[in-house]
Amino acid sequence: MKLLFIFLFFLTDYGAWSQQADVYSEEEKQSNVNYFLQHPLQINQVTSDELLTLGVLTPSQIINFISHRTLIHSFESIYELQTIQGWDLVLLKKIKPFIRCDQLNRKWHAFIGDKHQLLIRNETTLEEKKGFSPKDTRSKTRYLGNSLGHLLRYRGQLNTYLRLGALIQKDVGEVNYLDFKSFFIEIKPNQWLDKIIIGDFMNQWGQGLVQSGGFSLGKSFESIKATQKFHLGAIPYTSSGETSFYRGVNVQFHLLAFTFQTYSSFRSLDASLSSDSTNNSKQINAWIEDGYHRTSTEMSHQSNVKEIAWGGSMQWVHKPSSLAIQFNLSKTLFSLKKAASPLAYKANSWFGHQIHNYSISFQAPIYTIQFTGELAWMPENHFALIQGGALAASKKIDFSYLLRYYAPSYYSPKAQGLGESAETTNEIGIFIGNQITFDKRNKVASYLDFFKFPGLKYEVSQLNSWGWELLSRYQWEKRGKYTFFGQLKWTSKQLDVSRDNPTLNRNHLIQTSLDLHQFRSRKLDLHTRVMTCLLINFKRNDTGLLILQDVKYQWRTWGVQLRIGFISSSSYDSRLYAYEVGVPLSFSIPAYYGHGFRNCVVLKYTGQKNSILSMKIGRTNYLDRDEIGSSLDLISKSHKTDVTLQYQLTI
């Protein structure tokens, strides 16, 4: 048995579906918080879609905001928001950290009220990994770089119209300190030309069947937010992830009731190559998306394929009714051909030189129901469909639903529709959710999702396997004192009995969570969480238990956060996920299994001149083994210690 910490975004096997969506939906809010703390919304320019993405305001509050701003033209102070219908002091205090009120500059190129942020982060593991040890007769492959990881990031808000950013990163074991480079310049002229982005960017179109950038909750107890996406257009890329973005130029402008967007991109992608049937040319065997270039083999995958992409979107909005319709298209060309997969469950997967994606999407509020939908297709008659709705039956009761069909042969490189799989393909489903608020302190939220897979899947050798997922959550809150929730989640899927026996067997995963957050004072809060899981299949029953205790204390310019964690899991399939705080503007969602402890401490010192110095030390101790990890990440000890240092300066 093992205890491993694996970042959520790279999980794709059976254990990943067990808790990935639930933990992500629970803790993804922190990602939203981090983003909007770094990039507060300018209330004199913010759009309704951006306010919806914030995840704090109701549709009626947003409509009242836009109407009031149209009437007065511009705000002088954020405190004017109290005069808007449906806005009060409590809401203002809640939203204040994520907004700002800057006077609109007359010239976009005049640097007035500029703000700059510089962040330097270094990280390492104290114990020696095999990849950094001397070569021996059994293995001569080693990491080419040192055991330090580095990140340098700059963000600048030069005025209300001009924002820019740059990032360079070197992963642990890499040689090149400029291994990953990213930058963007965003200009908002605030006339008919809405936005220009030069550099790295994403697109959020429709319901995400062609282009899905920004934040996505996935399945969530907050079912309305999980089933509703918004057409945001172009978004600057600010992450240190090395995939899933474009690099080029993106332009957005409007004319009367129409908004147009067009983009073009050229960048290099990592891929493993093989010879084609003639042995005269190369073809793409598999995409490499982890971003690692630590060994000669990994470096041989670097920048092997050139990607050229372009596309556009046209949106029409009927302002009296808020009906919005979008027409979207994108085209992607690769310098080499993607080979067809020899695996049976990937027989319908895309292969070739180019991809064409088209879609029509809409958002239509009718009375108290917000309808959304998108139909996407490829020229080869492969298509995908999403249609959903959200209903506020009263101030205390709301419902939502989402229907989806993703053909086994549908593929879009940047798609991310709600579903069971990491890719938006090979799935039929219906998601139904509701929330009942009994009073200011008590509410219950639930959802039920039925899904079916028309084609084959990994470890599923028969067509039309099916399953369900049920979640119910009770939450109690005493404002400023306590928050508590109890949650039950039951997921059921069919999988092959074994590789040699394709008979389908139903697997059940039952998970529970108890969470208590106590705010003892302005300086001290305590957070306790107990999580369990039970995996039932014909072979055996696996169990998992995770107990976490967090303590956060603030004293003048010093802040400290402590965590003590205990994990007891009988197998990898019963692993558990938990949010773990990092240095400011970072966090992780590791996975735990085996038997052991995970403890960490984060220290933060806020100095003069808006500088913050922080450090995180995380220590994992194993009770059931003497080795950690595998291959070049192998540590021949029963413990692992990670250290992160960060300096942040805001001017």
- Alpha helix segments (H runs only) across 143-190: none
- Is position 53 within any domain? yes
Residue 92 lies in a domain: yes
Q: Which residues contact 407 (CB under 8 A, 6 or more apart)?
A: 382, 383, 384, 425, 426, 454
pLDDT computed for residue 46 by the predictor = 80
**Residue showing tokens 């197998």:** 571
Query: 466 lies in a domain?
Result: no
**Residue 444: predicted pLDDT:** 96
Report how many domains make up the chain. Answer: 1
Gap between the terminal Cα atoms of the chain: 49
For residue 475 the two structure tokens come to 């939450």
pLDDT means over runs of 10, the chain (651 residues): 32 36 43 65 76 72 76 80 81 84 64 83 96 88 95 89 92 95 90 91 93 74 78 87 93 92 97 82 92 95 96 92 92 95 90 96 88 94 93 87 96 92 92 92 95 94 95 91 95 90 92 94 93 90 95 94 95 88 85 92 90 95 92 94 95 85
CA angle 573/575/581 to nearest 5° reads: 150
Q: Residue 91 domain-assigned?
A: yes
Strand-pairing partners, residue 403, are: 387, 430
DSSP assignment letter at 211: B
Domain membership of residue 530 (yes or no) is: no
pLDDT value for 449? 96
Three-state secondary-structure class, residue 10: helix
Closest CA to 588 of 571, 597, 600, 596: 600
Closest CA to 328 of 227, 419, 489, 209: 209
Question: Is-contact 400 224, C-beta < 8 A?
Answer: yes
> What is the value of pTM for the model shown?
0.86
Q: What is the CA radius of gyration of the chain?
A: 25
**Tokens 């701003």 label which residue?**
69
H or E element, residue 90: helix 89-95
8 A C-beta contact, residue 292 and residue 299: no
As a whole number of angstroms, the distance between CA 254 and CA 250 comes to: 14
Residue 126, SS3? coil
Q: Which residue has the tokens 């959200």?
A: 390
Dist CA 580 CA 590 (whole Å): 7
**Residue 567, CB-side half-sphere exposure with 13 Å CA sphere:** 30
Sequence-ordered list of residues with C-beta below 8 angstroms from that of 207, at least 6 positions apart, any chain = 229, 361, 372, 373, 374, 386, 388, 417
Amino acid 233 reads G
Q: Assess if residue 66 is contained within a domain.
A: yes
Domain presence at residue 85? yes
Rounded CA separation 239/367 (Å): 38
Interatomic CA distance for residues 121 and 148, integer angstroms: 10
CA distance 329 to 352: 19
Q: Is 117 helix (H, G, I), strand (E, B) or coil?
A: strand
What is the model's pLDDT at position 15? 36
* Tokens 């104290």 -> residue: 126
Residue 76 sits at the vertex; the CA angle it makes with 70 and 78, to the nearest 5 degrees, is: 90
pLDDT of residue 26: 41
DSSP 451-494: EEESS-BTTB-STTEEEEEEEEEEEEEETTTEEEEEEEEEEEEE
Is 95 within the bounds of a domain? yes
Q: What is the DSSP letter of 557?
A: T
| Spatial CB neighbours of 277, under 8 Å, sequence gap ≥ 6 | none
Task: Show the domain range for 84.
Answer: 45-100
Q: Which of 160, 265, 239 is nearest to 585 (CA)?
A: 239
